[in-house]
């Protein structure tokens, strides 16, 4: 049985009884989309309310329940449909509108000709990671001029040094004729600071890259409006200096790294 915890009488009347300039749809037409609040935009999508709550009031309840629009996008269906007036049809309209917004964000990101600095990589990847509730591990395969050959979603889920296999990453690079590469993953928590697993994985890939003559250029962790670059923090160069491997007399160590 649907929860009735939101079923209460609010003070305002049906939107149809409002002054024309106060109605969300008419306000948008007269003043433009920028003049509307998130609640007013959501009310336009909802179109109608219930006997006790108009569309704007329902929109405000939805926005008060979830911390952000991304929170609505990633929410379970039952968490949204428990709100009065949100049946399957209205849920579909909300999800469709949010998905169009997400796709538009990705569509407007041009494929860069080359990456000159970590910020270029962040600007390219941030819209792709935005709002994702799980970690996604990407491999950016580059040519000799640091131009992007291909952007690959290599793994999903918790990124650890044990479940991201070095050999699989290099197989992807070799298959696409890469000369160097950048790796990146998101932290859904929003904090971009690297974990111990992030550090170990980066060190493993730097070492393997030296042996394969396919250098890791950077590892960029994307958080909420922030990023962490191992190259900027001079960790990539440090790991290269720390590497004591020699392909001629440490073949067992080479195999150990490549098959992790």
Element (H, E) at 241: helix 235-242
Instruction: Tell me what pLDDT residue 142 has.
Output: 93
Listed in sequence order, the residues at least 6 apart from 5 whose beta carbon sits closer than 8 Å to its beta carbon are: none
Q: Rounded CA gap, 165 and 201, in Å?
A: 9
118-258 is a CATH 3.30.9.10 domain: no
**187-230 per-position pLDDT tens digit:** 998 899 999 989 999 999 999 999 899 999 999 999 998 999 99
Q: What is the mean pLDDT of residues 94-111?
A: 78
User: Is pLDDT above 90 for 234?
Assistant: yes
Percent pLDDT > 90 in the chain is: 50
Terminal Cα distance for the chain, rounded:
50
Q: What is the mean pLDDT of residues 158-166?
A: 67
The tokens 């890259």 sit on which residue?
209
Are 100 and 69 in contact, with CB atoms under 8 Å apart?
Answer: no
The tokens 């935009």 sit on which residue?
41
> Is pLDDT larger for residue 172 or for residue 109?
172
Q: Which two tokens stand for residue 41?
A: 């935009």
Are 50 and 84 in contact, with CB atoms under 8 Å apart?
Answer: yes
CB-based burial label for 255 (10 Å; 0-12, 13-18, 19+): exposed
The tokens 């009310």 sit on which residue?
43
Are 197 and 187 in contact, with CB atoms under 8 Å apart?
Answer: no
**168-181 per-position pLDDT tens digit:** 899 999 999 999 99
**23-74 per-position pLDDT tens digit:** 888 989 988 888 899 999 999 999 888 888 999 999 999 999 987 888 898 8
Listed in sequence order, the residues at least 6 apart from 121 whose beta carbon sits closer than 8 Å to its beta carbon are: 115, 140, 182, 184, 218, 220, 229
Instruction: Tell me what pLDDT residue 223 has.
Output: 93
Q: Which two tokens stand for residue 79?
A: 């968490």
Domain-by-domain residue ranges, the chain?
Answer: 15-107, 118-258
Q: Which two tokens stand for residue 27?
A: 């306000």
Q: What are phi and psi of 36, to 5 degrees?
A: -95, 145
């Amino acid at each position: 049985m649907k929860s009735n915890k939101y079923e209460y009488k609010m003070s305002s009347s049906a939107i149809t009884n409002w002054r024309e300039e106060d109605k969300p749809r008419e306000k948008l037409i007269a003043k433009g989309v920028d003049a509307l609040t998130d609640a007013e935009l959501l009310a336009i999508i909802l179109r109608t309310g219930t006997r006790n709550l108009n569309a704007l009031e329902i929109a405000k309840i939805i926005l008060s329940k979830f911390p952000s629009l991304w929170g609505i996008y990633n929410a379970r269906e039952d968490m949204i449909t428990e709100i009065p007036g949100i049946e399957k049809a209205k849920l579909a309209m909300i999800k469709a509108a949010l998905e169009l917004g997400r796709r538009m964000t990705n569509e407007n990101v041009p494929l860069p000709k080359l990456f000159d600095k970590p910020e270029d990589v962040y600007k390219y990847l941030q819209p792709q990671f935005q709002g994702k509730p799980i970690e996604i591990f990407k491999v950016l395969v580059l040519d000799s001029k640091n131009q992007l050959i291909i952007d690959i979603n290599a793994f999903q889920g918790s990124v650890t040094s044990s479940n991201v296999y070095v050999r699989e990453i290099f197989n992807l690079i070799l298959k696409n004729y890469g000369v160097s590469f950048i790796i990146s993953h998101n932290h859904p928590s929003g904090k971009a600071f690297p974990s111990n697993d992030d550090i170990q994985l980066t060190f493993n890939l730097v070492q393997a890259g030296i042996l394969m003559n396919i250098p890791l250029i950077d590892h960029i962790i994307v958080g909420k409006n922030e990023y962490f670059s191992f190259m900027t923090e001079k960790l990539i160069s440090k790991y290269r200096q720390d590497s004591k491997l020699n392909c001629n007399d440490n073949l067992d160590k080479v195999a150990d790294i490549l098959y992790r």
